[in-house]
Chain A
Amino acid sequence: MRRWKVTVVGAGVAGLATALEFSERGFVVEVIERGRALGDGACSWMAGGMLAPWCERAMTDEAVLTMGAPSIDWWARRFPGTTHNGSLVLALPRDATELARFAERTRNYQWLDEAGIGALEPDLAGRFRRALFFPQEAHIDPRRALPALADLLKRQKVAIRFGVDMQAIAREADLIVDCRGLAARDVLPDLRGVRGEMVVIRSREVSLSRPVRLLHPRIPLYIVPRGGGVFMIGATTIESETRGGASVRSTVELLNAAYALHPAFGEAEILELGADLRPAFPDNLPAVRRTSRSLHVNGLYRHGYLLGPAMARQAAEMALEMELERPDADLREWRSA
Chain B
Amino acid sequence: MSFYGVELSSRLLLGTARYPSPKVLVDAIKASEAQVVTVSLRREAGSERSGQGFWSIIRSLGVRVLPNTAGCHTAKEAVTTAHMARELFDTPWIKLEVIRDDETLQPDVFGLVEAAKVLNEDGFEVFPYTTEDLSVADRLVEAGCRVLMPWGAPIGSARGLNNAYGLKAMRAHFPDIPLVVDAGLGVPSHAAAAMELGYDAVLLNTAVAEAGDPVAMAKAFALAIEAGRMAFAARPLEPRDMAAPSTPVFGMAALGG
Contact = CB atoms under 8 A, between A and B. Distances in A.
Interface string A180-213: 0000010000011111000000000000000000
Contacts of A61: 20
A191 B57 CA distance: 11
Interface stretch (A80-88, A168-176, A239-247): A239-247
Contacts of B220: none
B52 interface: yes
B21 A241 contact: no
Given A240-B45, A242-B47, A282-B22, A105 B53 contact: no
A217 interface: yes
B22 A195 contact: no
Contacts, number: 53
A217 B156 contact: yes
Interface residues of B, number: 20
Nearest to B206: A217
B241 interface: no
A76 to B, nearest CB: 29
Nearest to B42: A249
Nearest to B48: A242
Contact of B53 (A60, A241, A243): A241
Contact of B57 (A60, A242, A282): A282
Nearest to A60: B20
B235 interface: no
A238 B43 contact: yes
Contact of B26 (A59, A194, A282, A285): A282
Interface string B29-64: 000000000000001111110111110010000000
28 contacts: A60-B20, A61-B20, A185-B51, A192-B22, A192-B54, A192-B57, A193-B53, A195-B46, A218-B156, A239-B54, A240-B52, A241-B46, A241-B48, A241-B50, A241-B51, A241-B52, A241-B53, A241-B54, A242-B46, A242-B48, A243-B48, A280-B21, A282-B21, A282-B23, A284-B20, A284-B22, A284-B23, A285-B21
